[in-house]
Chains A and B, each alone.
Chain A
């Protein structure tokens, strides 16, 4: 784990959120000694970390290292073979599926390819949870438009996923994850397979969400530039776009986890990551 003290300066939060995650507060997510295997060697082994309120954790690692599996363990889509997982203070490792559904409604998840329901239009995709809850049509339309406006895709309201580009699908998926203002956001490689310009648009939305709502989140990626952009930029509401933080400043609420062959080999800030002497981390960063 990290040995070098943090030296980068935290940047003052223009939206009034906590400058850094409150270490004393109850974690939103806590993994303790979690392991999982699928008919073979362990995919994840003895993983322990936590996510504090307001904290954004970026999970880095090469493809196939178990990043998506880790994310699916957080909201109980997969169950660990060993260890304990606390979500909003409740142990979910062995919780019956029926009891997990209410907990999952408090989280938002963005899947690798968006995972939009292809038989439903954008409006019904974004409003999926609200429709299940029996919210009125007028209220649904209002909230869907609001969520689509956040991802700057209001014009897609009536379209079907088949007619959207890859980047648009991810943005709609972000709108779907945000519509109920979740208490935790999970992003599974949100920029995977996208061109650099579209990737930046997606990262900008994630920065906007982080700085606007301060929702704790876990983001899985193997793209270093996305991870660094998240850590070194903030959303400027006046300009309506993402801007870089001053030289030497990083976002104090954004920290890193690095996985290597199913093991967590790093847990700390960007500054610690850049100073890490771990051979794999150094190689990965290069």
Chain B
């Protein structure tokens, strides 16, 4: 009995991964062939980009502030509070900026994509779209993926900038240290590989957020209760996958650009 359950669960998992891979591949390929829905891409870019700016800005600012508080407390034991700027800058740009932005945007947008598409499934709007000769993956999924990848890239830059600013705010007004020293340390020790590492990750996260959100939305079954279930699954799997892929990306990027 228990073996059967494990077997069925494993089969279900493999089937879901297979379905997701085919779905994501099809959505990605649609980017390179007509018809392309530019207007939908613009609308989605506005929803994802402009709509997420405030939460990304605030989370970035306070994460940078917390980093400065924590690092200054530890670094002061070694008389090295002067490197707070370097610590905050590199941590925000290489790791926390991309990952936190990804998770914040996943919470806001993967959920909205899953619930929106899920509602369309249960009210037969997706079937209606197919019956009208329009490919829902091309019309609904591909624009969201394209918009999410491009907007997450810029949102990460915003989060990085406000994170460093938040760290600077804490350094100057709470830790009463020199602001010029903080910002010059943050700037001088920044290398191109750090920036590349920080800006490659949101490309993956953007793809994960939109593809997972749409995938679970379009798989919705079971009415309004099913929409709720899809929304939870989308946020949970997108967030976990962002962290897993971040780990793999970091491994690869550290191999390609080893620390000096």
- Residues of chain A whose beta carbon lies under 8 Å from any beta carbon of chain B: 72, 75, 77, 97-98, 101-102, 104-105, 107, 109, 111-113, 115-118, 128-129, 132, 176, 186
Contact = CB atoms under 8 A, between A and B. Distances in A.
Interface stretch (B73-81, B123-131, B180-188, B212-220): B123-131
21 contacts: A72-B127, A77-B130, A101-B134, A104-B131, A104-B133, A105-B133, A109-B131, A111-B124, A111-B131, A112-B124, A113-B123, A113-B124, A115-B123, A115-B128, A116-B125, A117-B120, A117-B128, A118-B125, A129-B133, A132-B132, A186-B131
Nearest to B136: A97
A115 B122 CA distance: 10
Contacts of A75: 131
A101 B131 CA distance: 8
B46 interface: no
A111 B128 contact: yes
Contacts of A101: 130, 133-135
Interface string B15-59: 000000000000000000001000000000000000000000000
Given A111-B127, A117-B128, A132-B133, 4 more contacts: A77-B127, A101-B134, A115-B125, A117-B120
B242 to A, nearest CB: 28
A117 B128 CA distance: 9
A31 B131 CA distance: 19
User: Which interface residue of B123, B124, B127 has the most chain A CB atoms within 10 A?
Assistant: B124
Interface in B84-143: 120, 123-125, 127-135
Closest 3 CB pairs of A and B: A105-B133, A115-B128, A115-B124
User: Which interface residue of B123, B127, B128, B135 has the most chain A CB atoms within 10 A?
Assistant: B128
A116 B125 CA distance: 6
Interface residues of B, number: 14
Contacts, number: 53
B135 A97 contact: yes
SS class, residues of chain A in contact with chain B:
mixed
B135 A132 contact: no
Contacts of B131: 75, 77, 104, 107, 109, 111, 186
B133 A102 contact: yes
A147 to B, nearest CB: 14
Contacts of B133: 101-102, 104-105, 129, 132
A132 to B, nearest CB: 6
A118 B133 CA distance: 18
Given A98-B135, A109-B131, A132 B123 contact: no
User: Which interface residue of A77, A112, A129 has the most chain B CB atoms within 10 A?
Assistant: A77
B130 A132 contact: no
User: Which interface residue of B127, B132, B134, B135 has the most chain A CB atoms within 10 A?
Assistant: B132
A237 B135 CA distance: 38
Contacts of B35: 132
A184 to B, nearest CB: 11
B51 to A, nearest CB: 16
B8 to A, nearest CB: 12
Contacts of A129: 132-134
A105 B123 CA distance: 21
Contacts of A118: 123, 125
Nearest to A117: B125
B128 A132 contact: no
A128 B132 contact: yes
Contacts of B124: 111-113, 115
Contacts of A117: 120, 125, 128-129
A104 B132 contact: yes
Contacts of A186: 131
B157 to A, nearest CB: 31
Contacts of A111: 124, 127-128, 131
A174 to B, nearest CB: 13
A243 B227 CA distance: 45
B105 to A, nearest CB: 22
A220 B125 CA distance: 19
Contacts of B123: 113, 115, 118
A72 B127 CA distance: 9
Contacts of B127: 72, 77, 111, 115
A132 B128 CA distance: 14
A124 B56 CA distance: 34
A102 B131 CA distance: 10
Contact of B128 (A98, A105, A109): A109
